[in-house]
Amino acid sequence: MEYVIGIDLGTSAVKIVLVNQLGEVVQEISREYLLINQQSGYSEQNPEDWVEQTFLGLAELMKAFSEDPATIKGLSFSGQMHGLVLLDENKQILRNAILWNDTRTTEECQQIYEVVGKEKLLQITKNPALEGFTLPKILWVKQHEPDLFEKVHTFVLPKDYLRYRLTNVLQMEFSDAAGTLLLDMNKSEWSQEICDLLNIDSRICPQLVPSHEEVGVITTEVAKATGLTTKTRVFAGGADNACGAIGAGILSEGKTLCSIGTSGVVLSYEAENNKDFSGNIHYFNHGAPSAYYTMGVTLSAGHSLSWFKDIFAENESFDELLTDIGDVPLGSNGILFTPYLAGERTPHSDAVIRASFIGLESTHQRRDLLRAVLEGITFSLHESIEIFRRNGKKIETIVSIGGGAKNDDWLQMQADIFNAKIVKLQNEQGPAIGAAMLAAYGCGWFKTLQDCANEFLKIDKVFEPDPANVTRYEELFAVYQEVYIQTNELNQKLMPFRK
């Protein structure tokens, strides 16, 4: 039997899966690292933490692997999008990485619109200027850390830096490049025009490669540290959402994904890059060859649930916390929660807005608040689905992955709020399995990624929407949408009181 490895470099941990030719996950390792929040709106990590924990995770995996290491034929990557890693001429790290959920760059986004123009930016990149993207972060460092910026020789995104440390070869692949605001989506190349307008030396942009391309092999140093062999082939990999789509079989028109991790996304396959969503949702290169996807984002999806657990159930597991969530009636006994813990992305591009509980009274219990959190996360994701539907896309069946796929009550809630069939996969591993599939495809196990999906992915359960619940949730969703409007100005006034 032969094997491949998928490495998912997430926001809170690196997840490593060992997968055989039947698509079975035979081993799984997860190792956490710190998030650095120096002040409100700031979110950073030390790239060396990614490297250290990945190497330790691979060594742990290989220590438990009883077969010949040479049977592990390849590995690939998934990674958190948008994060800025700056390197000097010796490829040394210049500062902590600024992450996707960092919102310090509101002024830089406005600068992009003033200099480039909103319409031109959408024409070139297919995406609006948002705080989470990479280009505003580059401009922030250029403005606030000019001496450091003078030393910048190149930039990459998180998983691209990790791949460099495994192979000593530095590139960026297209699905992550599409989230920088520097990629010309029409030409599949870096935009010289945007670089010139913003006075950025385009030579800092790294070489571009397709997600499935073989980029090198494991170095001798890494082989010694991990137990892998220097013949292990390394493939470029993809952005976490692109790999999540691959790992859920979103590989043809009409396929839609709901992924709930730290952030949450609703993602739909696109064969072309010529549709016009007016910047209301994201438009990125897929990890599949010559394909694209459109996507709406909830910044604090799983993060809202993790926050709730940390505050109210620190010593309980998520399974224990969610045990009786089905006993709480639809509507959480009159509580609404908006999951804006770190601002919001879709449909409100707003770095200032913050979360709210609406409707609390003394009779409410913890489980009422918990169900409200789950409903609020799902309502936020539903706003993206509504944008898709208003633009003519049929959303009838959705594959759910991530934390939102681990609880049947939450899956039924998704079916009722989205008014769509929700598919739960067997042995769902999210972006990590998508990364492994890119390695399997790259190693030649399958002629196409779809063939790989047909072999690797199996349906576990299907959740049908309950018509009565759909009607009730439609009423509650209308109230949910009012909360942003009613609290927007209040949050602006609270800004001076935040740390």
Chain-centroid distance of CA 335 in Å reads 28
Does 240 qualify as catalytic in the annotation?
A: yes
In this structure, what CATH number is given to the domain that contains residue 421? 3.30.420.40
The residue among 241, 260, 292 that closes a domain is 241
Question: Do 402 and 354 belong together in one domain?
Answer: yes
- Nearest residue to 210 via CA among 161, 175, 243, 168: 175
Task: Report pLDDT digits (tens) over 254-308.
Answer: 889 999 988 899 999 988 888 778 788 889 999 998 899 999 999 899 999 999 9
Q: What is the pLDDT of residue 350?
A: 87
Chain-centroid distance of CA 332 in Å reads 28
User: Quick check: bond before 347 cis, omega within 30?
Assistant: yes
* 204 DSSP 8-state letter: G
Q: What is the pLDDT of residue 139?
A: 98
Residues in the chain: 499
In a domain, 434, yes or no: no
Q: What is the pLDDT of residue 359?
A: 97
In a domain, 448, yes or no: no
Query: Quick one: 101 exposed, middle or buried, by C-beta within 10 A (0-12, 13-18, 19+)?
Result: buried
Question: Do 174 and 113 belong together in one domain?
Answer: yes
**Domain count within the chain:** 2
Q: What is the pLDDT of residue 403?
A: 85
Question: Do 34 and 113 belong together in one domain?
Answer: yes
Question: Do 232 and 275 belong together in one domain?
Answer: no
Q: What is the pLDDT of residue 300?
A: 94
The residue among 241, 267, 283 that closes a domain is 241
Question: Do 253 and 175 belong together in one domain?
Answer: no
Q: What is the pLDDT of residue 402?
A: 86
Write down the catalytic residue from 102, 160, 176, 240.
240
Residues 6+ apart with CB under 8 A from 228: 58, 62, 69, 72, 75, 218, 222
Question: Do 229 and 268 belong together in one domain?
Answer: no
In a domain, 268, yes or no: yes
Cα separation, 301 vs 434, whole angstroms: 21
- Extended strands (E) in 301-415: 336-338, 356-358, 397-402
Question: Do 310 and 162 belong together in one domain?
Answer: no
Question: Do 364 and 285 belong together in one domain?
Answer: yes
Q: What is the DSSP string of 378-413?
A: HHHHHHHHHHHHHTT----EEEEEEGGGS-HHHHHH
How crowded is residue 432: how many other Cβ atoms within 10 Å of its Cβ? Answer: 29
The residue among 186, 212, 241 that closes a domain is 241
Question: Do 200 and 220 belong together in one domain?
Answer: yes
Cα separation, 381 vs 258, whole angstroms: 8
Question: Do 261 and 222 belong together in one domain?
Answer: no
In a domain, 317, yes or no: yes
Domain that holds residue 223: 3-241
Question: Do 191 and 273 belong together in one domain?
Answer: no
Cα separation, 363 vs 425, whole angstroms: 38
Give 10-residue mean pLDDT values along the chain (499 residues). 97 95 95 90 96 98 96 97 97 97 93 96 93 96 97 98 98 96 95 97 96 96 97 96 93 90 90 81 90 92 95 93 94 97 89 94 97 98 94 91 91 98 88 96 96 94 98 98 95 88
**Helix or strand holding residue 471 (H, E):** helix 467-494
* Token pair of 351 as six digits: 């770095």
pTM attached to this predicted model: 0.87
In a domain, 227, yes or no: yes
In a domain, 450, yes or no: no
Question: Do 292 and 229 belong together in one domain?
Answer: no
